[in-house]
């Protein structure tokens, strides 16, 4: 029987069958293309020695060009090695500027923070366009709605060059967060701006910044809003011994049935710290908590693996003891989570932003500890 006759016969048979929505959904899930994701383990470069913002920006833009070349070379190897197209690259935490250290909040904002529509994001958008992939990373940025402050932002840029996800870190020891200006932040961005999920053709993606992987509530909130992949930009101690973050990454993956693509720095250049103090162990972890790939130390692309969204979505739709999302009874915990420990709006005064000194963060934590002790909780 020739191809045309077989096609016609198949269509006639199909038209006689009743429509089965479950089977149709299974077919849709199965159609999702497997692709490769890579956690680019690269050395962060501090701008703290730059004399002014112009010099800092020139350094950042130059580094963005270097990163494009490294991703392009990595993509060629990965696609030749495994045969699947590289559609997602994740960059480490604060790759282009490093962290503020003891620089004051206003001074670091002026020196190093990206503008929301600034040259740095424009250059990163061109990288995503030139490489035809989704590019995730992390940077400090200023927001005209909150003058004097900066936020640590994780971003996802589509192959079109458009920023499709902007997540501001919610739990930080030494930096402003949306929670510190909570009332105004919700007025400006709403809850969708607090826990954003980018729905793309390669999956639903959310960002988790650095040590936030240690806080299960952040990952859970994103998963409950549909996230299938966690983009984890980090700068942390790498070790052959399991670190807290290494353990947490695997836990966040299996308890939320989500992939984790975690890119660590390969050291931090331009500071007084020994270079390799935050280096190694970038990972790709699947939705069962299995480490699919892990880097050693130094600059490398070797944390890459295949992302099988079809399998993940099938698992999420299958009843069973391992379907942790479907078995959640969230209302059980509402009362316990309603107890305030770390107060909101600490950087607002009558709706106006107040810029704190560096000692503010430790003082607030001391007050929280004191209240917990007084309540007999610790």
Phi-psi region of 154 (alpha: psi -120 to 50; beta: other; left: phi over 0): beta
pLDDT at 106: 94
pTM of the model: 0.90
Give SS3 for 145: coil
Q: Are 223 and 193 in contact (CB under 8 A)?
A: no
pLDDT at 4: 46
Residue 344 and residue 284: Cα distance in Å, rounded?
34
CA 31 to chain centre: 26
pLDDT at 339: 82
pLDDT tens-place values along the chain, 378 residues long: 444 444 433 443 344 444 455 544 554 544 668 999 999 999 999 999 999 999 999 999 999 999 999 999 999 999 999 999 999 999 999 999 999 988 999 999 999 999 999 999 999 999 999 999 999 999 999 999 999 999 999 999 999 999 999 999 999 989 999 999 999 999 999 999 999 999 999 999 999 999 999 999 999 999 999 999 999 999 999 999 999 999 999 999 999 999 999 999 999 999 999 999 999 999 999 999 999 999 999 999 999 999 999 999 999 999 999 999 999 999 999 998 888 788 899 999 999 999 999 899 999 999 999 999 998 989
pLDDT at 23: 46
pLDDT at 338: 84
Beta-bridged to residue 279, according to DSSP, are: 266
pLDDT at 75: 98
Q: Are 146 and 139 in contact (CB under 8 A)?
A: no
DSSP 7-68: HHHHHHHHHHSPP-HHHHHHHHHHTSPPEEEEEEE--EE--TT-SSHHHHHHHHHHHHHHHH
pLDDT at 21: 52
């Amino acid at each position: 029987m020739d191809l045309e006759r077989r096609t016609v016969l198949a269509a006639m048979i199909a038209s006689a069958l009743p429509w089965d929505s479950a089977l149709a959904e299974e077919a849709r899930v199965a159609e999702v293309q497997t692709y490769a994701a890579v956690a680019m383990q690269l050395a962060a470069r501090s701008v703290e020695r730059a004399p002014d913002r112009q010099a800092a920006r020139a350094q950042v833009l130059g580094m963005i060009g270097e990163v494009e070349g490294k991703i392009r070379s990595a993509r060629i190897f990965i696609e030749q090695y495994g045969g699947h197209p590289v559609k997602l690259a994740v960059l480490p935490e604060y790759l282009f500027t490093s962290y503020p250290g003891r620089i004051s909040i206003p001074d670091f904002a002026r020196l190093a923070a990206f503008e929301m529509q600034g040259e740095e994001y424009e250059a990163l958008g061109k990288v995503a366009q030139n490489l035809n992939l989704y590019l995730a990373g992390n940077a400090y940025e200023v927001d005209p709605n909150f003058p004097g402050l900066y936020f640590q932002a994780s971003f996802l840029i589509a192959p079109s060059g458009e920023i499709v996800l902007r997540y501001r870190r919610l739990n930080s020891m030494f930096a402003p967060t949306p929670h510190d200006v909570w009332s105004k932040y919700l007025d400006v961005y709403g809850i969708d701006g607090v826990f954003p999920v980018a729905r793309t053709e390669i999956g639903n993606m959310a960002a988790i910044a650095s040590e936030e992987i240690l806080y299960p509530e952040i990952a859970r909130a994103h998963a409950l809003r549909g996230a299938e992949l966690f983009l984890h930009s980090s700068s942390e101690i790498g070790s052959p011994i399991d670190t807290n973050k290494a353990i947490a990454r695997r836990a966040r993956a299996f308890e939320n049935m989500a992939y984790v693509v975690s890119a660590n720095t390969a050291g931090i250049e331009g500071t007084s710290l020994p270079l390799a103090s935050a280096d190694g162990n970038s990972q790709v972890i699947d939705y069962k908590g299995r480490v699919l790939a892990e880097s050693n130390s130094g600059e490398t692309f070797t944390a890459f693996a295949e992302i099988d969204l079809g399998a993940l979505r099938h698992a999420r739709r299958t009843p069973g003891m391992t379907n942790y999302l479907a078995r959640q009874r969230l209302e059980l915990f509402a009362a316990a989570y309603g107890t305030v420990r770390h107060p909101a709006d600490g950087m607002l005064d009558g709706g106006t932003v107040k810029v704190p000194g560096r000692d503010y963060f430790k003082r607030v934590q001391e007050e929280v500890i004191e209240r917990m002790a007084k309540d007999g909780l610790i």
